[in-house]
Structure 1
Amino acid sequence: MLSHVYLGVNDFTRAFDFYSMLMGTLGMKLRFRDDAKPWAGWQSPDAARPLFLVGTPFDGQAAAPGNGQMVALMAPDRATVDRAHAAALAQGGTCEGPPGLRPHYHPDYHGAYFRDPEGNKLCVCCHTPAILPATC
């Protein structure tokens, strides 16, 4: 359904460092970085789309996060949700909701919420049941 998501940032270097860490935690690969614009994009290693992009706004004005806007990124499992949230906070993000089940969305929804250093709200979530340990 999505081609790409673009988040405007004011401090591209700081944003690039933050999102490089976050995308790496989620297993995404850097598709490009152009410091002249400046902007950068990541993608899944096995698909050309969708792209996740960060950069300065096209119109040259200051970037500002919107009220009610959020980008939710898929994680392959619950442990990755937890790691991504911890890594985001370690890179200067702020917590908007710790990792955990949100059964009011559905029984297996495990999500974490945070803001990047620019104030953009993000979620990392997993929709699959926890893997249960083998029993004898």
Structure 2
Amino acid sequence: MPDRQVIADFARSMGIATSGLRAQAGRMRVISENIANADSTASTAGGDPYRRKVPTFSSELDRSLDANVVALGRVMPDATAFRVKHEPGSPAADVNGDVKYPNVNPLIEMTDMRDAQRSYEANLNIIHATRTMIQRTLDILKS
């Protein structure tokens, strides 16, 4: 019979990696929203357009695992200035003919998306490796 500590370590490893998957999936959702709204304008003349959102992470104690896990924290608005273009014919233009566009840089968003994707894949690899170790442990115990 496997030692209880070994079983707990496997469960802890899977739980921590799963929390990483959830956090990175949430991060990718926020980044996707930013990319989708990169060229949107305000619905009213002179109004503010979509404001870029920045995901944060927090560390939480999972009492059932007795381990610190990661979670998607608050999603904060990016306070940087909007892009402004002079487009007097646009329905979103202010009295000066300027249109505000979101403070979203698609290149930065794609870089962040790639980073989130790699972190997600790293957590998947941890889960796969842990499952392989569990299977090998069971195979050893059967023989």
TM-score by length of 1: 0.27
Larger Rg: 2
Q: Which has the higher contact order (CA 8 A, sep 6+)?
A: 2
Higher helix share goes to which structure? 2
